[in-house]
């Protein structure tokens, strides 16, 4: 599985026919991946919310079609809306999430998807792509993002019933040192230097722009995301019963909700080496404090992913080569998390594994605009969330489609959200 690389129309020197072929290929591949979610989908899974913060799978499918029609057919081609009855139901600002379960039949939504796509591909044959290409690429990525969210909702529906809480140790334990010696087998040193943060490529979302230079001091970073086996030590040491590891608002959250372990905790044989997932930002930060480390800033995370000894900032962790299946666990190919370090081809030049795919990784950074930020294609896509209540996640998960899988891509959630696909790694000052 690969994604097309289109840094710019000029530098790529592509003809209109070549651009059309690339878009057609990518859109068909992305849609095939999206439709695979509907195989053996029950009516309950299709219609029901699995969590108040996430719309039903059926709504995401309809929203994909609605958005493609809105921006490519109505906005660019200036066609009338083909299915006006869906305008309120599937618009992002149409209905509250709690009112999105009253959906058409799955067959009707699949017909809606196909009808819009047929019209879109027909328009593609005559569209002035040199002027429109960024929006076409945005639509491709928009579908990828909502397909991943739908995958998450489906995973929540099918997650095993919660296991009983683990018995905590009789008395909370402390790490051996709040300033632990660096274990070079588990951490790598990232040298001080400059990083070109963000991206100005055609695929870059508005919050990734503009690319800008940032200086960083040297630091150590975990080679892999924190594993289930490592996080178990935090639980058994009474980490959820000891306020010293937690931010004040995090500790309040733990107490109010009686949190004792990650929401999606699977402490079973075969999972010890997989990344811990389903942790909130509060839990990730508390664990980092427990082991005498901290969460990386998004600058530190991106430098670890893009640092290259010969060019300082590379496009991908492994260099400039286009992403393919053996670079990581992504695109749903593995059906879930994999043990860390299973994709050596995806190892970064700095020596870190699993930076793209497997689990999203919490950072310490607030989601804020970069210098020169301009909203695209509409103000609410990113700008609404520049409210200092959302923390940045990086790297993508096992369900992330390749069209959005890149070091510069930014995801964001509020710190209390226990996202099934979210994990983390830690850093330590050099």
Q: Give which of 59, 54, 61 is closest to 36, Cα–Cα.
A: 61
Considering only CA atoms, give the Rg of the chain.
22
pLDDT of residue 2: 52
pLDDT of residue 211: 96
Give the percent of the chain with pLDDT over 90: 77
Q: Where are the beta strands (DSSP E) in 100-240?
A: 187-190, 193-197, 212-216, 219-222
pLDDT of residue 9: 43
pLDDT of residue 158: 86
The correct answer on CATH 1.10.579.10 for the domain covering 11-158 is: no
CA distances, 265 to each of 23, 151, 336 (Å): 40, 18, 14
Q: 3-state DSSP helix/strand/coil percent for the chain, to nearest 5?
A: 40, 10, 50
- CB atoms closer than 10 angstroms to residue 107: 9
Place of tokens 């017909």: 111
Q: Are 290 and 250 in contact (CB under 8 A)?
A: no
pLDDT of residue 310: 77
Which stretches of the chain drop beneath a pLDDT of 70? Answer: 1-12, 161-182, 184
Which residues are registered as beta bridge partners of 216? 193
Q: Torsions phi, psi of 393, nearest 5?
A: -115, 150
- Give domain limits for the chain: 11-158, 187-232+265-429
Residue 200: both structure tokens together: 């100005």
Q: Are 295 and 429 in contact (CB under 8 A)?
A: no
State the Cα–Cα distance between residues 301 and 275, nearest whole angstrom: 17
CATH of region 187-232+265-429? 3.90.1580.10
- Convert 192-230 into a string of H (helix), E (strand) and C (coil): CEEEEECCCCCCCCHHHCCCEEEEECCEEEECCCCEHHH
């Amino acid at each position: 599985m690969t994604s097309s690389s289109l840094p710019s129309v000029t530098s790529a020197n592509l003809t209109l026919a070549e651009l059309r072929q690339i878009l057609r290929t990518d859109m068909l591949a992305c849609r095939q991946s999206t439709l695979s979610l509907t195989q053996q989908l029950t009516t309950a899974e299709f219609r029901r919310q699995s969590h108040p913060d996430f719309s039903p799978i059926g709504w995401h499918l309809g929203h994909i079609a609605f958005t493609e029609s809105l921006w490519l057919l109505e906005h660019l081609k200036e066609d009338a809306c083909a299915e006006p009855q869906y305008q309120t139901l599937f618009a992002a600002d149409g209905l509250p999430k709690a009112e999105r379960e009253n959906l058409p039949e799955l067959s009707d939504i699949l017909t809606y998807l196909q009808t819009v796509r047929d019209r879109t591909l027909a328009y593609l044959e005559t569209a002035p792509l040199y002027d429109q290409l960024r929006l076409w690429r945005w639509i491709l990525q928009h579908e990828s993002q909502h397909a991943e969210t739908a995958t998450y909702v489906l995973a929540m529906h099918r997650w095993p019933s919660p296991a009983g809480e683990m018995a905590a140790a009789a008395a909370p334990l402390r790490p051996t040192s709040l300033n632990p010696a660096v274990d070079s087998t588990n951490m790598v040193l990232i040298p001080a230097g400059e990083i070109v943060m963000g991206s100005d490529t055609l695929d870059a979302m508005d919050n990734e722009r503009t690319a800008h230079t940032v200086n960083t001091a040297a630091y150590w970073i975990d080679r892999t995301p924190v594993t289930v086996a490592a996080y178990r030590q935090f639980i058994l040491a009474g980490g959820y019963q000891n306020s010293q590891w937690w931010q004040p608002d995090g500790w309040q959250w733990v107490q109010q909700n009686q949190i004792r372990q990650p929401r999606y905790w699977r402490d079973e044989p075969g999972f010890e080496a997989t990344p811990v997932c389903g942790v909130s930002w509060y839990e990730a930060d508390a664990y980092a404090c427990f082991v005498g480390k901290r969460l990386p800033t998004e600058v530190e995370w991106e430098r670890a992913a893009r640092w290259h000894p010969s060019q300082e900032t590379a496009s991908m962790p492994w260099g400039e080569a286009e992403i393919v299946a053996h670079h990581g666990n992504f695109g749903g190919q593995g059906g879930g998390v994999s043990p860390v370090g299973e994709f050596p081809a995806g190892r970064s030049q700095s020596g870190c594994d699993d930076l793209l795919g497997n689990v999203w990784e919490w950072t310490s950074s607030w989601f804020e605009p970069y210098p020169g930020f301009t909203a695209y294609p509409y103000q609410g896509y990113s700008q609404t969330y520049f409210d200092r209540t959302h923390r940045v996640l990086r790297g993508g998960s096992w369900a992330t489609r390749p069209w959005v899988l890149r070091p510069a891509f930014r995801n964001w959630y509020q710190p209390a959200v226990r996202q099934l696909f979210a994990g983390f790694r830690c850093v330590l000052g050099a």
